[in-house]
Structure 1
């Protein structure tokens, strides 16, 4: 289907797409969850992030090759429909849609919690409603407005990370004494390299993977990107560099400034470090950063769920239509209304009721990522038979072995979730959802 037939406006620039891809790899998993990762793995968490990052990069290269083979598809799930069949596309498409819906509901609830930090005596639901309305308006005004919002959301996160890295380097190079002691590079390894004698290393792999959830989001922007044949490959190829600089750099700085044995799960290491060196407003600064990370996630969710519903509904449905701004407004409207249910729930039940469902969404993303690698395998087989054109020079290195290894890695994380007491129930819920959608696909004879 051509761009004219679809009616999408290619207004996202390389600057937008680069920051969208970057924003997809930086979230609360780093700012809030890094303390738990460090406590489970120690300095070995750096190697875990590198290994996990390489597999994520392989997945993104496979996604990039698919996108370049046909950059007119609205969402990357359309490739799964093409190569795995309509039933698989139906199940995976609705799974991806509901996954982003739940993530948005969870992040909207989190926004209320973050605002409670500054306004402890005020109810959280008005803040949630305000953010919901503002981000909805950003998504229906124009695609470029979404791109600009995501650019600045990502910029705030980058500044916070670079500040952490710069602080660590300055203190270590000058061997400056702080209330936490003398800062030296050797602090990184002088207290041991592995936490808990390696007993919790596998759990750290699971947590590292969750930090990368949403990295595939750049695959939803391809049909609305200027020069996608150049922009998408550049954004994907820079992922490894971003992982090394932002994750490895920030975590190294954290463990250099303060011994890794001091960090506790459930506490932001960013807050601990900045507070420890005398930045009294550290908690407020990091609260602002995670607030923007949550807003970024909701912004991305509205964009994704709108395009997903547009693709799933088809051109005969009102949800499969674009407005005069080339935006699937009806699809975004419905997705926003569903996400808005979290505001209603939090009005009557002012507690975070979505953590359980959020974990379920995380398990479904593992299935989506594995399906993406299988889709790429089928694509390559058809390419060999001459049924489709080659992907214009952008390929997944070492395929098909890189496919098999990535699928195995993702499957192991899924099994770890299934065997872990903390995530067993939510993983079973994800399996039940997939089975239910499969039954629906067969009953509807899709």
Structure 2
């Protein structure tokens, strides 16, 4: 009898696995970058990026409803756009996640070494082993673990918003911080566009719902419904958290690379703020790692099923129907990228990190193109999405720091495309030899 993936995840698991993959250090710490760049006007950037995220979720919903190909959005792209683009989309998505996971491992290990004084590399191995182990239990148990990890993150953001509102009512005036002496746009309008790629990247991940839905009782229905729920939830949490944050503190006091939320809590003299926020950030990182390994391993499993990855990665464990080899491959990839961050931080790792942000934008372009090809109904949503994407791409071309990211992303797509041509040629040669 042919083995298949388990189908024991419930909608609440799918939503939380998706949110777990989105809300991580990229927001709790990374938000300081866009704020320092754009000032109070960054709320416009978050609103714009949230709108793009919501429209992309609509593209994913339409694809899930209309695609004849079962599977995640990667398999749908392969069916609609062709094998070559499907191969490129799958492996670049794999690279995006592995790089993201490596960054989260490094960040989590950096926090832990403040408490445990052992070699940094050993901490990285322990962190990666823990989240890999969580992915090697039954998918239902994994879903429960990720559900509660994500709940902690959501409760933290909601609590922060409520605490901020309470502080404002006690006398801290929002208008004083939103309209400081330097104005709402202290660095000009272009700064809003310069911050857009980073914010869009931090909001990406609603497509994970189409992956997790494969292990539920209603894959197509859950994929179409829950990707939109995830996008709306994340957009709302991000937007209102940033508004609350900038209402509490002056933007020019926020330092890039440091948690602006921790700074805000210290400003209002919240007891044990440092310890609590450190635990929340660490939980967020572990949650993102958990969801990322899950999503990446399932994409690897799917690609192996259609011949875009080695056939051995489609093998499932006989006890719990888990793609164990695919999970271990993703963990190994994460470890290798983390090692590259040590031995080649300014060359290989810098290229991979820069390319990842741009590849998300390029992926969005592929998803929207597939939606246009698949169905001619309500095409206005697709054209709006294209316009929003064009704004981001133009901003990346104009802004020097983002221009390198765009070039790196295009180059990464090209390299994976060349790999696809080589593997296809070798596959044909082997088939001919076999005859």
TM-score of the pair, normalised by structure 2: 0.87
Greater per-residue helix proportion: 2
1:271 aligns with 2:262: yes
Q: Which range is displaced more, 157-166 or 30-39?
A: 30-39
Cα distance in 2 for residues equivalent to 1:33 and 1:94: 25
2:198 to 201, 207, 216: 207
Take 1:356 and 1:291, find their aligned partners in 2: how far apart are those partners? Answer: 26
Residues 90-111 of structure 1 show CA distances to partners (whole Å, capped at 9, x for unaligned) of 1111111122122222221222
Match of 2:91 in 1: 94
Q: Does structure 1 residue 26 correspond to structure 2 residue 29?
A: no
The change in CA–CA distance for 1:351 and 1:130 in structure 2 (over 3 A counts) is farther
**Structure 1 pair 323–110 and aligned structure 2 pair: CA distance change class (3 A):** same
Q: Please give the secondary structure, in 1, of the residue aligned with 2:375.
A: helix
Q: Distance in 1 between matches of 2:343 and 2:82?
A: 43
- Between the aligned partners of 2:294 and 2:11, the Cα distance in structure 1 is 18
SS at match of 1:8: coil
Q: Secondary structure in 2 aligned to 1:249?
A: helix
Deviation at 1:114, TM superposition (A): 1.7
Residue number in structure 2 paired with 1:155? 151
1:237, 1:218 → 2: CA distance? 9
Q: Which residue among 133, 140, 147 is the counterpart of 1:144?
A: 140
Q: 1:368 to 1:199 in 2, by over 3 A?
A: closer
Task: Give the stretch that moved more between structures: 400-409 or 129-138.
Answer: 400-409
How far 1:86 moved relative to its partner?
Answer: 0.8
Q: How does 1:251-266 map to 2 (within 5 A)?
A: 251-266=242-257
In structure 2, distance between residues paired with 1:103 and 1:357? 10
Which deviates more from structure 2 when the two are superposed, residues 237-246 or residues 77-86?
237-246
Would you say 1:184 and 2:173 are equivalent positions?
Answer: yes
Distance 1:51 1:99 in 2: 22
- Matches of 1:343 and 1:24, distance apart in 2: 18
2:360 matched residue in structure 1: 365
Give the equivalent residue in structure 1 for 2:410. Answer: 431
Contact 2:21–2:289 under 8 Å retained in 1: no
Return closer, same or farther for 1:207/1:441 CA change in 2, 3 Å cut-off.
Answer: closer
Identify the residue that residue 167 of structure 1 maps to in structure 2. 163
Cα deviation digits, residues 248-282 of structure 1 (max 9, x gap): 22112212222334333333211111111223532
2:80 is the alignment partner of 1:83 = yes
RMSD across aligned C-alpha pairs, in angstroms?
2.8
Q: Contact conserved, 1:81 with 1:89, CA < 8 A, in 2?
A: yes
Structure 2 CA distance for aligned equivalents of residues 224 and 335 of structure 1: 19
The alpha-carbon distance between structure 1 residues 356 and 118, as it changes in their structure 2 partners (threshold 3 A), is: farther
| C-alpha distance in structure 2 between counterparts of 1:90 and 1:214, whole Å | 19
Q: Which moved more, 1:290-299 or 1:71-80?
A: 71-80
The worse-fitting range, judged by mean Cα deviation, of 184-193 and 15-24 is 184-193
Aligned to 2:431: none
In structure 2, relative to structure 1, the CA distance for the partners of 1:237 and 1:357 (3 Å cut) is closer
- Paired residues for 1:42-61 under 5 Å: 42-61=39-58
1:345-376 Cα deviation digits (max 9, x unpaired):
57878999845422212211211111011111
**Which stretch shows the higher mean deviation, 365-374 or 226-235?**
226-235
Q: Does structure 1 conserve the Cα–Cα contact (< 8 Å) formed by 2:69 and 2:76?
A: no
1:323 partnered with 2:317: yes
C-alpha displacement of 1:237: 3.5
Query: Residues 5, 63 of structure 1: CA spacing in aligned structure 2 closer, same or farther, 3 A cutoff?
Result: farther
Q: CA separation of 1:414/1:295 partners in 2, compared to 1, >3 Å: closer, same or farther?
A: farther
Alpha-carbon contact 1:102-1:358 (below 8 Å) kept: yes
Alignment of 1:241-260 (within 5 A): 241-243=232-234, 245-260=236-251
Distance 1:40-1:423 versus aligned 2 partners, 3 A rule: closer
Q: Does 1:413 align with 2:407?
A: no
Comparing 95-104 and 110-119, the one that deviates more: 110-119
User: Could you tell me which residue of structure 1 aligns to residue 432 of structure 2?
Assistant: none
Structure 1 residues 72, 300: closer, same or farther in 2, change over 3 A?
A: farther
Contact 1:71 1:228 in 2 (8 A): no
Deviation at 1:154, TM superposition (A): 1.1
1:287–1:354 CA distance, 2 compared to 1 (3 A) = farther
Distance 1:435 1:232 in 2: 30
What is the distance in 1 between the residues matched to 2:145 and 2:164? 30
TM-score, normalised via structure 1 length = 0.85
Q: 2:298 aligns with which of 303, 307, 323?
A: 307
Asked whether the equivalents of residues 208 and 295 of structure 2 are also in contact (C-alpha less than 8 Å), the reply is yes
Is the 2:354–2:404 Cα contact (8 Å) retained in structure 1?
A: no
Aligned 8 A contact 1:14 1:226 in 2: no
